[in-house]
Amino acid sequence: GRKQSTITNYFVRS
């Protein structure tokens, strides 16, 4: 299946 994305794909390091 598709690789599970991670939360950091949506929120960038500040």
Question: What does the per-residue mask of binding to other proteins show for 1-14, with x meaning CB under 8 A?
Answer: xx-xxxxx-xxxxx
CB of 11 to other proteins, least distance (A): 4
Q: Mapping DSSP to helix (H, G, I), strand (E, B) and coil, where does residue 5 land?
A: coil
CB of 14 to other proteins, least distance (A): 4
Cα Rg of the chain, angstroms: 9
Q: How far is the CB of 8 from other proteins (least distance, A)?
A: 7
Virtual torsion, Cα 3, 7, 10, 11, nearest 10 deg: -150
Note the residues at the interface with other proteins (CB under 8 A).
1-2, 4-8, 10-14
